[in-house]
Structure 1
Amino acid sequence: MAWSLGAGVAYDVTDRLALDLGYRYVDMGDTESGWNNFLNARGLQDEKMKANLVSSEVVLGMRWAF
């Protein structure tokens, strides 16, 4: 299951120009791979990858109305 949360503000510099500042956090959950399928020096399947997939972004933008 994935979820996202965001917030932002905009400031009108002039009637035609606005500056934006935003933040977004995305959590895509935990995942893990299967055991390795290649031969290593000891002949063991001893490697497994685990990850917590998250993203945190700050966005700065500019809008021009024409």
Structure 2
Amino acid sequence: MCAGNAPEAFALDAGRRSRPVAEETDASGPLFTAAESCPVEAITISVLDTGEPVFPPDFPPEE
């Protein structure tokens, strides 16, 4: 689902698992759609400079 919703941000590996194309990227509408539709809630989005969580809202910043 991730690669289908945001193909510029995710690609399928040889095992047909979705992987991010880059560790850091600008969040776009399709990226938020991919995060919201992720069946295992594996996508987190945070502000690069501060680590403030954007999605999911209760995602704790890395220490």
Structure having greater relative contact order (Cα 8 Å, sep ≥ 6): 1
TM-score by length of 1: 0.20
Q: Which has the larger radius of gyration?
A: 1
Structure ranking higher in strand proportion: 1
Q: TM-score, normalised by structure 2?
A: 0.21
